[in-house]
Amino acid sequence: MWFGQTTSTFCGTPEFMAPEILLEQRYGRAVDWWAFGVLTYEMLLGQSPFRGDDEDEIFDAILEDEPLYPITMPRDAVSILQKLLTRDPNRRLGSTKEDAEEIKRQPFFKDVSWDDVVNKRIPPPYFPTINGSADTSNFDEEFTREQPTLTPVHGQLSSRDQAEFNGFSYVASWADI
């Protein structure tokens, strides 16, 4: 979605849905920066910033609760999370035409070489053990026990759209597959 474009589809994983989606307002790409804030919070603290026993409670928490930050959490982390989890999408970090550039300049990312990220020179901190192309041991059994269901195809991609994927593949040089 380009800057300034909006949509109004009610969709997403409940814990990651931005307030403007829940309020059924038109929204732009700032919803993705909200979701990035939720993901970052979960990666840093191991739990969602908005909790509830069911979807309604989670939605209420997103609309009403303030995320809690431990006093031991680094100031730069708290700062970026507060800016990403701002309920007003017009004031949310990343909501301007600068988009990701605004986020990349945050002190939280001061040690990140974006050139190295873009050029895939940063090895991952964790290498899962993979025993063949059908190995699912790195996934929770809750999901691997589910019977797969195919989504019905309602049409084919146009030749022009399909051409966008021609030659697309990427395997990192450090991957042992």
**What CATH code is carried by the domain that includes residue 40?**
1.10.510.10
What would the pLDDT profile of 6-21 be if each residue is shown by its tens digit?
Answer: 777 888 889 999 999 9
In a domain, 116, yes or no: yes
**What backbone torsions phi and psi does residue 27 show, to the nearest 5 degrees?**
-140, 160
In a domain, 131, yes or no: no
* Nearest alpha-carbon partner for 17 in 6, 29, 32: 32
> Structural domain of residue 80, as residue ranges?
14-120
In a domain, 74, yes or no: yes
In a domain, 77, yes or no: yes
In a domain, 52, yes or no: yes
In a domain, 166, yes or no: no
Q: Look at the alpha carbons of 28, 1, 83, 9 in this order and tell me if their dihedral is positive or negative.
A: positive
In a domain, 162, yes or no: no
Domain count, the chain: 1
In a domain, 37, yes or no: yes
Overall pTM > 0.85: no
Indicate the SS3 state at residue 62. helix
What would the pLDDT profile of 88-147 be if each residue is shown by its tens digit?
Answer: 999 999 998 899 999 999 999 999 999 999 999 999 888 899 998 889 999 999 988 988
